[in-house]
């Protein structure tokens, strides 16, 4: 697969799904702590999302970094837009910004679960 093919596949995936997480491992079997944290937040909040295991495809693993111009995995996309990696998603979850983004973009999530995360980390 060429870089162009990887870019096309990534673009198709982020446009075809409201929420996409490029991660190491899968949403049920994360293979790094950062991926696990972001998947854990999304799973706990009941967000429907596509997970893409970058460990399964070296071209996608490098391609996603080029696509977003972001050097690390995981990477979260909402409605085709790059939102951030683990630190950004963690901060956005704790500040309520992630809730606001989901509401603005019409992404369903469990508001009570989001509040519980904030209470537990407050």
Cα separation, 91 vs 55, in Å, equals 26
Q: Tell whether residue 86 is among the known ligand binding residues.
A: no
Give the distance, in angstroms, between the CA of residue 107 and the centroid of all CA atoms in the same chain. 13
Of the candidates 53, 56, 57, the residue with the CA atom closest to the CA atom of residue 20: 53
| β-pairing verdict for 50-53 and 19-23 | parallel
Cα separation, 64 vs 116, in Å, equals 32
Q: Encoding tokens for residue 63? A: 């391609």
Of the candidates 18, 113, 9, the residue with the CA atom closest to the CA atom of residue 62: 9
Q: Would you list which residues are annotated within the binding site?
A: 32
Q: Would you list which residues are annotated within the binding site for [2Fe-2S] cluster?
A: 32
């Amino acid at each position: 697969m060429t870089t162009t093919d990887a870019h096309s596949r990534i673009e198709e995936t982020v446009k075809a799904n409201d929420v996409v997480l490029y991660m190491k491992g899968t949403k049920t079997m994360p293979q790094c702590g950062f991926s696990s944290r972001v998947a854990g937040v999304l799973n706990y909040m009941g967000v429907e999302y596509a997970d893409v295991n970058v460990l399964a495809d070296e071209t996608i693993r490098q391609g996603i970094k080029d696509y977003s111009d972001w050097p690390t995995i995981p990477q979260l996309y909402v409605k085709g837009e790059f939102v951030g990696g683990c630190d950004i998603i963690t901060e956005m979850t704790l500040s309520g910004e992630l809730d606001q983004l989901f509401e603005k973009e019409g992404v369903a999530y469990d508001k009570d679960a989001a509040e519980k995360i904030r209470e537990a980390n407050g």
